[in-house]
Amino acid sequence: MSTHIAAKEGEIASRVLLPGDPLRAKFIAENFLENVKCYSTVRNMFGFTGTYKGKEVSVQGTGMGTPSQSIYVNELIQFYGAKRLIRTGTCGSTDPNLRIKDMAIIQAAATDSGMNHNRFGVHGLIYPPVADFNLLRDAVDAAARLGYPAKVTTCYSADQFYDERGEEKEKLLLKYGVSCVEMECSELFTLGARFGVQTLGILTVSDMIFEKEYASAFEREQTFTKMMEVALEAI
Ligand code: HPA
């Protein structure tokens, strides 16, 4: 048992999917896994372990933003021995070639996160959070096998969803190949490197940032299923 997860030793698999929304964790467990057991309901941030094609997999909600996600990822790695962790979530796209419902496999994360500023920025350093190469390759292969198009790209992990600074940052980052915005991958990749475990992000586009277009609930559901298949095959 760790501070924020009530699982007993051995109840969490070494392969963990990380949706932000705890109800998504429940949905994944109920619809994609067999022999499911709920191992934690602390703060309603549900965690489940089950099997996918005979492979033991856990699904843990993390909440939104790097500070919340960091708590769960630290405990999964340090207390429960998680070794392969994939964030499955949504992102906003700034790239005209990455549209609503498209899937993005995240290879690296630019960030303005206070967490990495406090780790590195205060020392004058800029640290590059990157996904694990082998896990990335497994996800690209899984998407190809399933016949689902997926763009390998870089995201911007932002601290603020409601950001009053305007869209200049997103426009600048897009010039450097950063094509979508979300709020967690930078911390997941940084912790993966810190503790020598494999991490990756697989995201579906829920909104177009500049055009202010949003996916319908039906579209989100449809594309979510494809993303989960890729993540479960890859992990
Ligand atoms: N910004 C930040 N995080 C997000 C967005 C967004 O537009 N869409 C989905 N996650």
Residue 218 in this model has a pLDDT that exceeds 90: no
Distances (CA, A) of 86 to 49, 217, 227: 15, 23, 11
C-alpha 207 – ligand 1 centre gap (Å) = 7
Please indicate whether residue 112 is annotated as part of the active site. no
CB atoms inside a 10 Å sphere around CB 51: 13
What's the pLDDT score for residue 224? 84
User: Whose CA is closest to 117, among 57, 67, 45?
Assistant: 67
Tell me the residue type at 208: M
What's the pLDDT score for residue 201? 98
What's the pLDDT score for residue 116? 98
Residue pLDDT, tens place only, 24-36:
999 999 999 999 9
What's the pLDDT score for residue 75? 98
Cβ of 183 less than 6 Å from ligand 1: yes
Please report the atom of ligand 1 found closest to the CA of residue 209: 7
What's the pLDDT score for residue 220? 75
For residue 81, report the phi and psi dihedrals to the nearest 5 degrees.
75, 30
Minimum CA distance residue for ligand 1 atom 10: 91
What's the pLDDT score for residue 217? 79
Q: What is the rounded CA–CA span in Å between residue 131 and residue 189?
A: 6
In this prediction, residues 94-110 reach a mean pLDDT of 97
In this prediction, residues 70-77 reach a mean pLDDT of 98
What's the pLDDT score for residue 222? 73
Residues 6+ apart with CB under 8 A from 208: 92, 93, 94, 99, 100
C-alpha 5 – ligand 1 centre gap (Å) = 26
